[in-house]
Amino acid sequence: MDRVSTSMLLAAAAVRQARSDSDPAVARNAALARACLQGCGRPGARLLCAVDHALGRVLLAALETLYLPGIGAHYAWRKRRIRRWALQACGDGARQLLVLGAGFDGLSLFLLERIPGLRAFEIERESTVAIKREALCWLGVREPRLSLIAADLSVVAIEALLPGIPRFDPRQPTLVVAEGVLMYLEPPELQRLLRGLARTLPGAGLIATAMAPAAAGTPGFARQRPWVRRWLKRAGEPFRWAQTRDALAATLAAASVRLERIADPDEAADPDPCPGEWLFAGEFARPPR
């Protein structure tokens, strides 16, 4: 990879977080993130070098303040909740996990370690899948219950893809996780993807995130500086849609998803350090009887 991507930034944030967070899940996630960054060529090596040195960390903190204050802590905030909600969904019977745009994240491994009999499937862009496969190999992780599938979610016909994946069983109770990915799809692509999932996996659970409108109604975080939008565009990862809290349910309903809950960014005990991205859970519609 020849430039820094959002998945690399998340991986660097995961490595950085593990320096101050003693949660074993955070440490495991950081080990995978580190191995992935090592496979990301010069941009990955530079990010790792910065995270591993005091001066580099000062520079990263300054860049965060300059671009988007609190974003590293926001990632940790949303990942804590996603781990908790996903564990709960598995406790409620999910036997299959489908992670869309998984990047270099270790949620699948976290759940596979804790839920006997669970199978996990990740759908990601080919270049990212190749790096993650190599990283898992390098870490000595041989997990036969994890499958990485290369596909572009903006064009793939998900109804055709899923039944053809070895060991994927559309009849199994399934949890779909789409963390930090749906905002990169054009609205018609989003609708096609979610409706395709609803047709293939009726009744499956969904944990996902979506952007809220920031200044001037454009998708983004509340404290995002104007140059973040330009950086995302140059990186080829612009946010393509946003929704207000009140309108999110209608957008999802049009795509055959029933919204059940939205994480409260103002939760007194643990507020979102960088608001502007909704974390929500829902269920794919069941066909009418």
Ligand X SMILES: C[S@@+](CC[C@H](N)C(=O)[O-])C[C@H]1O[C@@H](n2cnc3c(N)ncnc32)[C@H](O)[C@@H]1O
* Pair 221, 242: CB distance under 8 Å: no
* 224 near ligand X, judged by CB under 6 A: no
Which region among 5-13, 161-169, 254-262, 276-284 touches ligand X (by CB under 6 A)?
5-13
Say whether residue 102 binds ligand X (CB under 6 A): yes
Q: Which of 236, 224, 280 is nearest to 257 (CA)?
A: 280
Of 289, 288, 280, 283, give the one whose Cα is nearest residue 257. Answer: 283
CA distance linking residue 16 with residue 188, whole number of Å: 36
Binding test (CB under 6 A) with ligand X, winner from 1, 6, 191, 199: 6
Side-chain half-sphere exposure of 186, counting CA atoms within 13 A:
5
Give the number of residues in contact with ligand X, rule: CB under 6 A.
17
Pick from 103, 219, 220, 282: which binds ligand X (CB under 6 A)? 103
Helix (H) or strand (E) holding 209: strand 205-211
**Which residue from 81, 114, 125, 240 is in contact with ligand X, where contact means CB under 6 A?**
125
Contact call for residue 128 and ligand X (CB under 6 A): yes
Task: Name which of 180 and 196 has its Cβ closer to ligand X.
Answer: 180
What character string, x for contact with ligand X (CB under 6 A) and - otherwise, covers 177-206?
--xxx--x----------------------
Nearer to ligand X, 239 or 284 (CB): 239
Q: How far is the CB of 151 from ligand X (least distance, A)?
A: 7
What distances in angstroms separate CA 123 from CA 82, 99, 102, 158, one per listed residue?
Answer: 18, 6, 7, 10
What is the footprint of ligand X within residues 150-169 (CB under 6 A)?
Answer: 152-154
Taking residue 163's Cβ as centre, other Cβ atoms within 10 Å add up to 11
Contact criterion met (CB below 8 Å) for 223 and 246: no
Two tokens at 269? 């005990």
Quick one: which segment of 6-14, 36-44, 49-57, 168-176 binds ligand X (CB under 6 A)? 6-14
Q: List residues near ligand X by CB under 6 A.
A: 6-7, 10, 101-103, 105, 124-125, 128, 152-154, 179-181, 184
